[in-house]
């Protein structure tokens, strides 16, 4: 094992990022446990930071897996003992499992239900509001739809109303990809952007 081995540098960065994600995840879980409607800003910030952190860790793990594959394909060139190679694989797998556990909880029915409920309590008016009131308070909202709540597939943000989801999502979540084919719109265009 060489001290110049880049695997150990990236491994340290991944371990640090996973530790940071675990801290965010712990706070995110605490926010889900609170009885009162939690502060929308803190929940959104924590959710976005955690989601972005997990995504970044996954990219780093893919890079590590790729380097492990290169070493496996060229054992004579790298002269890495089999035990060290196995240790690297175990590290990547352990980190991948930690990331997946957090992601699974973030998209669990209980978590989605909480976020939807909190979203509705904090951001949405009484469903009996007139279309004019709805338009003033929710310029992006469409009429309630039987397909709702709508979950933005790339970022997992839950919208309790049918919306032009990605446009709103991009405005609320800078980490969300640009608008794409997941857009939905009301039959009443005046309620949509």
- The model carries a pTM of 0.59
pLDDT for the residue numbered 78: 87
Q: What is the pLDDT of residue 40?
A: 75
Percentage of the chain exceeding pLDDT 70: 56
| Of the candidates 49, 77, 56, the residue with the CA atom closest to the CA atom of residue 14 | 56
Q: Report the distance separating Cα 36 and Cα 118, nearest Å.
A: 9
Confidence check: pLDDT of 142 > 70: no
Task: Spell out the domain ranges in the chain.
Answer: 6-113, 125-191
**pLDDT band with cut points at 50, 70 and 90 for residue 82:** confident
What's residue 41's pLDDT? Answer: 83
Q: Which two tokens stand for residue 77?
A: 């060139």
Average pLDDT over residues 122-135: 45
Name the DSSP class of 141.
B
Contacts of 142-147 with C-beta under 8 Å, sequence gap 24+, read 142/184, 142/185, 142/186, 142/188, 142/191, 142/192, 143/186, 143/187, 143/188, 143/191, 145/184, 145/186, 147/184
Give the architecture-level CATH label for domain 6-113.
Answer: Up-down Bundle (1.20)
| pLDDT tens readout for residues 20-73 | 999 999 999 988 887 555 577 888 899 999 999 999 999 999 999 999 999 899
């Amino acid at each position: 094992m060489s001290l110049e081995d880049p695997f150990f540098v990236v491994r340290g960065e991944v371990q640090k990022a996973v530790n940071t994600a675990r801290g965010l995840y712990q706070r995110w879980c605490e926010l889900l446990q609170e009885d009162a409607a939690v502060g929308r800003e803190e929940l959104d910030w924590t959710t976005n930071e955690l989601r972005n952190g997990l995504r970044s860790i996954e990219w780093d793990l893919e890079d590590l897996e790729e380097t492990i594959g290169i070493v496996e394909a060229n054992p004579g060139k790298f002269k890495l003992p089999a035990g060290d190679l196995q240790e690297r694989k175990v590290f990547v797998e352990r980190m991948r499992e930690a990331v997946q556990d957090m992601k699974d909880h973030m998209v669990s029915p209980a978590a989605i239900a909480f976020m939807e409920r909190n979203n509705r309590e904090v951001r949405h008016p009484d469903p009996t509001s007139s279309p004019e009131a709805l338009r003033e308070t929710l310029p992006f909202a469409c009429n309630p739809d039987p397909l709702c709540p709508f979950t933005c597939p790339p970022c997992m943000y839950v919208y309790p109303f049918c919306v032009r989801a990605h446009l709103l999502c991009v405005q609320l979540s800078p980490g969300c990809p640009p608008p794409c084919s997941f857009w939905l719109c009301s039959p009443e265009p005046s309620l949509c952007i």
